[in-house]
Amino acid sequence: MSFLVPNIRRIYGRLIPPPDKSISHRALMLSALAQGKSEIKNFLRAEDCLATARALKMMGVEIIEEKNNLCVSGQGLFSLKKPSHVLDVGDSGTTLRLLTGILSAQKFSSVITGGDSLVRRPVKELLYLLRSMGAHVEGHEDDSYPPVHLYPVTKKLVAITCKPSTVSAQIKSALLLAGLYVEGQTVIQETIHTRDHTERLLKLFGAAVREVDSKVQLTPSELQGQSVTIPGDISAASFFITLALLLPESELEVEEVGLNFTRTGFLDVIQAMGATCEIDPLIKDSYEPTGRIFVKASPLKGVTVSKELTIRTIDELPLVALLATQAHGETKILDAGNLRFKESDRLKAVALELSRLGAHIEEEESGLVIQGPTPLKGAKVKSYHDHRMAMMLMLAGMISEGETQIDSIECISKSFPNFLMVLGKLSE
């Protein structure tokens, strides 16, 4: 259903962002594989994470849900049961990859598939690496895409030492989860350090995991049930941070938000653009650091985002592009080829849709180049059923002159079901 973007004057107030999506998935999976009860407080009840819950329930995991709190009765690493149907994980790429890691090591067969965007998400390198551990796994179109077929292991998987060529936390995490079942020590070397939530949670659940230089080493170990509180999602908060920077006289305080270094690239980018952005890291001794962020409307200048910073900002790059349309000078987003394989081809989608609003933006093979500042003008735009595109375009419409209509925004419930309600509360 098409959506007419509302007009708002400014953003003002205090935001406690929704629970972190990446950490919610992982906390639930590890609780399901652990021995004993786990309590997950502040779990993200959005489509993607609910897809993980549904798949685990289909394999016999007992999950009691009370609002945002889950109680999971884990029975250990070998307790999953053969699902009676194909596992449909909706459009959740994280569920697809991480579950593929776990299921590649089971004594039963299973099939993972999902919606239209999921069956275009690449799995080739992941399947190749799992096969090198001895797993029997197959994908569609020469192993490129889901559905993924996983066959029973007949002989225990073997540990590998590898350096994936795709820079991806999902591949790393899937290999670590498979690594819980192998003979020997799994060693994954990263060319660029990606989000490390799996490593942190594995440690919390008692696994023998170590990070040495750019290598993650895991020795198979039983997991013990835990009580885990999920921090606020910095990626979700970034939408409102962006709007506060762009709308004159805005002020926003974000509280209880995750400040894991592998996720805070966006804050570094906006500071480099000249934004007023204060960061108070309040809790450092938990399994994930959290804190408070204060931002206010600020004049911005162009920047270059590349390599390690691109990876630490991977989900926020559409927002960087939007900010760049209003910043003085040129902004370059480099080394962002991975963006072509998200819920949409985000390099193409961002360039095309922001151009419709009048932005000066060039799509390159693995990046974007934006010239600013350019006043944007309302137009009809498309979300490609990609949640981060839909929310970014909503903000773009709000800073545009005239009406903006987005073809569909239902996809927002994938990660941020309360987005419109929060917007209503914070906007004036």
Among candidates 181, 205, 198, 180, which has minimal Cα distance to 72?
205
**CB-wise, 113 or 338, nearer to ligand S3P?**
338
- Spatial separation of the C-alpha atoms in residues 187 and 113, rounded to whole Å: 28
CB of 334 to ligand S3P, least distance (A): 16
**CB-wise, 296 or 414, nearer to ligand S3P?**
414
**CB-wise, 260 or 326, nearer to ligand S3P?**
260
Residues lying near ligand S3P in the complex (CB under 6 A) are found at 22, 94, 168-170, 173, 194-195, 314-315, 338
**CB-wise, 103 or 426, nearer to ligand S3P?**
103
- Spatial separation of the C-alpha atoms in residues 44 and 49, rounded to whole Å: 6
CB of 377 to ligand S3P, least distance (A): 30
- Spatial separation of the C-alpha atoms in residues 14 and 2, rounded to whole Å: 29
Q: For residue 266, what is the enclosing H or E element? A: helix 265-272
Q: Are 122 and 146 in contact, with CB atoms under 8 Å apart?
A: no
CB of 351 to ligand S3P, least distance (A): 18
Q: Are 104 and 150 in contact, with CB atoms under 8 Å apart?
A: yes
Instruction: Give 119-143 as a DSSP string.
Output: GGS--HHHHHHHHHTT--EEEHHHH
Q: Is 88 a catalytic residue?
A: no
- Spatial separation of the C-alpha atoms in residues 32 and 42, rounded to whole Å: 17
Q: Which of 48, 91, 315, 386 is catalytic?
A: 315
CB of 176 to ligand S3P, least distance (A): 11
CB of 34 to ligand S3P, least distance (A): 19
CA separation, residue 338 to residues 176, 239, 369, 370 (Å): 21, 20, 16, 19
Amino acid of residue 91: D
* R_g of the chain, CA atoms, integer Å: 21
**CB-wise, 315 or 353, nearer to ligand S3P?**
315
Catalytic residues: 315
